[in-house]
Amino acid sequence: GVFFLDYYINNKIFNLIFTTLCITILINGSNFCDGVNCNVVGYYIVILIAVLLSDFQTASFLPNTKLILISFFVFYISNLFQKSFLGDNGTYVVSLFMSLFIISFININKNISPLLALNLLWYPAFENLFTIVRRLNVNKKVYVADELHFHTLLKNKVSKLNKNLKISNSLTGLILNLIMSIGIFISIKYYNDSKLLLTILLSNIIIYILIYFL
C-alpha cells in the first residue's frame, strides 16, 4: 500500500526479509507489553473480535477462528485473576500466530488496504520502536530492561488509586485494552481507505506519545 515499498516487496528475497523483520518487531514488542496482566492477550482478542465482526474471510489456515477466540478469552479470564500467565514463550507463540493470521487475513481479502495490518498491530510494534529510541536517547543499553514502559507508568498511576497491587495490575491491562480497541474498531470500519487509515495510525501514535509524557 506504500508505493516505494510495493516496488521492493515484489522481490521475493526482500519480501521474505522485510516480513521476517516485521514479525520479529511485533514479537519483541509484544514481549515488552506483557508487563501487566491481560495487556497482550486482551489486545489480540480485540483484533480477533474486530475481524470476526467485519464479515470478511478469516485466515485460511484456521479451521475455526471462533474457537481460537474462545480459547484466548478463557486464558484472558484466568490471567485477569492471576491464575495463569503468558510468560516469554507464551507471548512469542501468540504474537507469531497473530502475525500469520493478519498476513493471511489481508492476503485473502483483496479489497482491504494493507495499511489495515499496521493499524491492527501498531501498539506492540511501536512500543518496541519507542523503547529503543527512548533508551538510546539517554545512553542506556537497548537490551537492558527498565520500568519506564507505557503500561508500567500507567500501572504506577493506577496503584496510587488502588493499593492492591494485584488488582492494579489487571485493571491496567483492562484500561489499555479499552484504549486500544477504539483505534482498532475505527480502522476496520474504514478498511479500504488508505489515507484515513494512515491518519488514524498517526493519531494513535501521537496520542500514545502525549499520554506517555503527561
Average pLDDT (34-54) is 93
Q: What is the pLDDT, as a whole number, of residue 63?
A: 62
Q: Is 106 left (phi over 0), alpha (psi -120 to 50) or beta?
A: alpha
Q: What is the pLDDT, as a whole number, of residue 125?
A: 95
Q: What is the pLDDT, as a whole number, of residue 149?
A: 93
159, 165 in Cβ contact below 8 A? Answer: yes
CA dihedral 109, 115, 119, 124 (to 10 degrees): 100
Q: Taking the CA atoms of 9, 15, 21 and 23 in sequence, report the sign of the dihedral they define.
A: positive
Which of these, 27, 39, 20, lies nearest to 154 by C-alpha position? 39
Q: Is the model's pLDDT at 166 over the cut of 80?
A: no
Q: Is the model's pLDDT at 60 over the cut of 80?
A: no
Full-model pTM = 0.91
Which of these, 195, 172, 197, lies nearest to 185 by C-alpha position? 197
Q: What is the pLDDT, as a whole number, of residue 145?
A: 83
Q: Helices H, strands E: what count in the chain?
A: 9, 0
Q: What is the pLDDT, as a whole number, of residue 62?
A: 65
Cα(57)–Cα(21) distance, integer angstroms: 26
150, 127 in Cβ contact below 8 A? Answer: yes
